[in-house]
Structures are given as C-alpha cells and as structure tokens.
Amino acid sequence: MRPLSILRKSFADLSRQRRRWQDGIARNLRISSRMLDSLHPDLPPEVLAPKPTSLVETTDFGSNPGWLKMLHYAPESLKPGAPLVVVLHGCQQDATLYDQCSGWSRLARDHGFAVLYAEQQGGNNPNLCFNWFRPSNVTRDRGEVMSIRQMIARLEQDLAIDPARIFITGLSAGGAMTASMLSAYPELFQAAGIIAGLAHGAARDAHRAFYAMEHAPERTAREWGDLVREAAPAPARYPRVSIWQGLADRTVHPSNADALVAQWLDIHGLTDTKPRETRIESHRRLAYPGHDGRIAVELILLADFDHGVPLKPTRGGEKTGPFMLDAGISSTRRLAREWGVI
C-alpha cells in the first residue's frame, strides 16, 4: 500500500473512533439523566435535565438609533399575555454573561415569561456601558432609550406580551439607563429594579458622570423629580421602583441611592412619607407605601457589599462572575416575586 493511502486510512480510522467515542458519551449522558430522574423524581427540573436557555438575537426591530443589540429568551411554553422582563447589563459585561449569572432566563423557562436584553456595542462605548450620561441617548424617542423601546415593541408583537406586565431592571450603567427608561417611557413599565444605579439626569456628559459616581449631585427632591417630569408627558401612573445599593460600593457611591429615592418619592408624591423598616437576610430594607397602600418605592441597603448584582448562588441557578456577587440574597428572585412573574 502506498504511504499516502496508509495515511488516509489512518485518518479515516481515527475519525470513526472519534465518532464512536462521542456517541458513547452522549448515550451515557442520556442514560445518566434518565437514571437520575427515576431515582430523584422530586428534584426540580433544572437539576434533573437542564435545558438550554440561549439568548436569540433579533437584528430587525426598527430604526435602532442607539445602535444596540437585541437578544431575548422565550420558553417554548410561553403563552399569549405573558409578562416581559427587560434587563440591562453593566459596564464590562454583556447580555450572555449577565443572563448566565443572574438566572433570569432560567426563571423565565420555569415560570413562563419572556426576557429581553439590550446589549451595548464597543463602537458606542469601549467599556460597554450604556450612555446614560448623554442627553441624546436618554431623551424620549431618541438614541439608546428609543432602541430599547423598539425592542420591546417587537416582542409585544411577536410574542403577544401583556402590555400591562412589562418590568425592567439593570446594574450600574444599566441601572442608570433603567432610571432613564422609566423617565422617558413611564407609561410602559409596571415596576423596576435599579441596582447600583444613578438617578435620571445625574450627569450630562462623561466628565460629570465620573463626579456623579463618586458622589451624587446636590439637588432637592423637587429638582430630582422635575428631571423625570420633564422627560415625558405625565402618565396615568408612575412605575414602582426598587432600589438596591451596596454600602461598600467603591464604584457608585451610596449617595446615588439617596438621590434615586428622593427622585422617585417626589414623583409619587411621597416626600414626607416615613418608611417602614425591616431586615431581609441581614440587610436593611426601607419601604415607602404609596397612596393605594402598595409599596411605591423601596430601598435595600446591602451591608458590606461592593459593586455588583446581589445574588444567592444555588445549584443549577445563579452563579458569581464579574460584578455578579454573592450577597446571601437574590435580587433576581426577589424582584421576580415582587412583580408577580414567579
């Protein structure tokens, strides 16, 4: 046999062995999954047979003036009239990282709601921060806020989302953009979770953004509220707001949480309201009931917690990562419960 023929035969034999090896692994994995299911029928689905919750990108969702990427997850079991949770990542993150660590898509799979991620691109901001400090990107029907609004409209159409059950949350720059989305489109959202974010209007350029992160600008509650009222026509009602802040945050100073509370208490007409104080998982919670008796604004102060999303890592669920930190409390699950999506 010629040397070239021998070499080809060797490669063919190796390829067949590789395929048999891969098929064997796959077969063993399937058997192991069935055995685990039979031995532990009461274990939750995510432990027994994890299913992929990969985000799907949509490129055609409108004019996209902010040049953002749109990704979403919708479980196969999604029914018309399901809720939608919009999630905005922080700087030096992307949608996939945020989703894999926060567990939002896993909750969506298990409880039947959709998740939308807007993702920043390096051409807009080299640190992948949403440009919350640029007026052109946080003005109603312009820039990045308009792109996110168009993404929501696309999913409302494609998935028959319940327009009365749309929620939004974000970390850091994503938290600041969450505050701006609430200001630009207050009629769109039922409630929001702002994590280590900044008040709408805290800065108007990158230079002042760094100063605001170090310490929130000094403004009265009325002045903070006016920035929201000037952003959009007055809605029939404003969204409920949950504000999360680490007391050891070295990136966004806790004074920014105070500014957010002042801004949204003024918007809800609750400036003189005294909070109800409780403790949750060793952390301090200040809750401000609205005129209808429901909590309109809440502040959760996380003791000894730095800059990141508060998580409670569990097997098959949340996990730590860049700016995704173990706090002994899950902001993802708590927000989802408060919003009634789980």
Q: Dump pLDDT digits (tens) for 131-185.
A: 999 999 999 999 999 999 999 999 999 999 999 999 999 999 999 999 999 999 9
The single residue of 102, 172, 180, 330 carrying the catalytic annotation is 172
Closest CA to 324 of 342, 310, 305, 306: 310
Q: Is the pLDDT of residue 31 over 60?
A: no
Phi, psi of 66 (to 5 degrees): -90, 0
What tens digit of pLDDT does each residue of 36-66 get? 333 333 434 443 334 456 999 999 999 999 9
What tens digit of pLDDT does each residue of 179-232 get? 999 999 999 999 999 999 999 999 999 999 999 999 999 999 999 999 999 999
Mean pLDDT of 70-81: 97
What is this structure's pTM?
Answer: 0.85
In total, the chain counts a number of residues equal to: 342
- CA 225, distance to chain mean position in Å, is 24
* Mean model confidence pLDDT for the chain: 88
- What whole-number percentage of the chain has pLDDT above 90? 83
Radius of gyration of the chain (CA): 23
What tens digit of pLDDT does each residue of 113-125 get? 999 999 999 999 9
Active site residue 331: no
pLDDT score for 180 = 98
Phi, psi of 215 (to 5 degrees): -170, 130
SS3 labels along the chain = CCHHHHHHHHHHHHHHHHHHHHHHHHHHHHHHHHHHHHHCCCCCHHHHCCCCCCCEEECCCCCCCCCCEEEEECCCCCCCCCCEEEEECCCCCCHHHHHHHHCHHHHHHHHCCEEEEEECCCCCCCCCCCCCCCHHHHCCCCHHHHHHHHHHHHHHHHHCCCCCCEEEEEECHHHHHHHHHHHHCCCCCCEEEEECCCCCCCCCCHHHHHHHHHCCCCCCHHHHHHHHHCCCCCCCCCCEEEEEEECCCCCCCCHHHHHHHHHHHHHCCCCCCCCEEEEECCEEEEEEECCCCCEEEEEEEECCCCCCEEECCCCCCCCCECCEEECCCCHHHHHHHHHCCC
Residues 6+ apart with CB under 8 A from 276: 286, 287, 288, 289
- For residues 155-178, one letter each, b for 16 or more C-beta atoms within 10 angstroms of the residue's C-beta and e for the rest, the string is bbeebebbeebbbbbbbbbbbbbb
Q: Is the pLDDT of residue 261 over 50?
A: yes
Distance CA 334, CA 165 (A): 16
Mean pLDDT of 68-96: 97
- What whole-number percentage of the chain has pLDDT above 70? 84
Sheet strands side by side (includes 114-119): 56-58, 69-73, 114-119, 84-88, 166-171, 191-195, 240-246, 295-302, 283-289, 276-280
pLDDT score for 316 = 62
